[in-house]
């Protein structure tokens, strides 16, 4: 990220006072655009028109900024005079970013366990991945549920049981029906009864 730098005396310089507040508002926003898009101070006509609020305003405010010496006209728009004196050029910014990237890469390469092909996360520096227990995590074996019926299933079967009782059918008939449903009558009935007892 780059920053557009402004002179701390901008508020009272002669060119600022000559341009006026409205034109200086457009100038500051256009300086920000140049820094953000790294245009080296070049302002496309469409951008200036958008920032100034239309073609008429662009010509009027652009004319004031050119007259004050803050901008100069170019075939495609305007050039912010002295932008490269206050701000780094695109080439300088790219070179600085490349140097910073190389510096950080060299720093990561010096520290063990940081690079993409190095030891996985969680292995202390200086230990290899093969000997450390965290490098080959083994999931715990699943523990079987002694009562395999979920709460929702229990509620559903309890509702069917209540329906059997309401219709005058005995509880024994309910368990026979339930056993047939599960294809293992004895085992199922024992598990079902246990699920309500516990």
pTM of the model: 0.53
Cα dihedral 59, 56, 53, 60 in deg (nearest 10): 40
CA distance linking residue 7 with residue 81, whole number of Å: 13
CA distances (Å), origin 190, targets 40, 164, 165:
82, 19, 20
Q: What is the largest CA-CA distance in the chain?
A: 103
Residue 63 burial class via C-beta count within 10 angstroms: exposed 0-12, middle 13-18, buried 19 and up: middle
Let me know the angle formed at the C-alpha of 87 by 86 and 90, rounded to the nearest 5 degrees: 150
Task: Tell me if residue 1 falls in helix, strand or coil.
Answer: coil
Per mean pLDDT, which of 91-100, 101-110, 167-176 is the most reliable? 91-100
Q: Which two tokens stand for residue 39?
A: 């245009």
Separation of alpha carbons 188 and 8, rounded Å: 85
> Which pLDDT belongs to residue 128?
57
Q: What is the band of 142 on the pLDDT scale with cuts at 50, 70, 90?
A: confident
Residue-wise pLDDT for 13-59, tens only, equals: 899 899 999 999 999 999 999 999 999 999 999 999 999 999 999 99
Q: Which residue shows structure tokens 């730098």?
A: 5
Within 10 angstroms of residue 124's Cβ, the number of other Cβ atoms is 10
Dihedral class, residue 118 (left if φ above 0, else alpha if ψ from -120 to 50, else beta): beta
User: CB–CB of 147/138 below 8 Å?
Assistant: no
Q: Each residue of 106-139: pLDDT tens digit? A: 888 777 655 555 545 555 555 555 555 554 556 6
pLDDT, residue 72, reads 95
């Amino acid at each position: 990220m780059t920053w557009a730098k402004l002179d701390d005396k901008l508020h009272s310089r002669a060119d600022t006072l000559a341009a006026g507040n409205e034109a200086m508002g457009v100038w500051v926003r256009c300086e920000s655009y140049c820094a953000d898009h790294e245009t080296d101070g070049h302002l496309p006509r469409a951008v200036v028109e958008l920032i100034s609020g239309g073609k008429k305003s662009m010509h009027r405010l652009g004319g004031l900024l050119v007259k004050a010496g803050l901008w100069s006209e170019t075939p495609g728009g305007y050039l912010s005079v002295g932008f490269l004196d206050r701000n780094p050029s695109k080439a300088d910014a790219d070179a600085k970013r490349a140097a910073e990237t190389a510096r950080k890469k060299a720093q990561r390469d010096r520290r063990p366990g940081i690079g993409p092909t190095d030891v996985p996360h969680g292995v202390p520096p200086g230990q290899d991945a093969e000997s450390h227990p965290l490098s080959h995590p083994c999931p715990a074996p699943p523990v079987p549920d002694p009562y395999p019926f979920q709460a929702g299933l229990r509620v559903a079967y309890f509702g069917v049981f209540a329906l059997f009782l309401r219709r005058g059918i005995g509880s024994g008939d309910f368990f026979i029906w339930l056993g047939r449903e599960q294809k293992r009558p004895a085992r199922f009935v024992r598990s079902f009864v246990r699920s309500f007892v516990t």
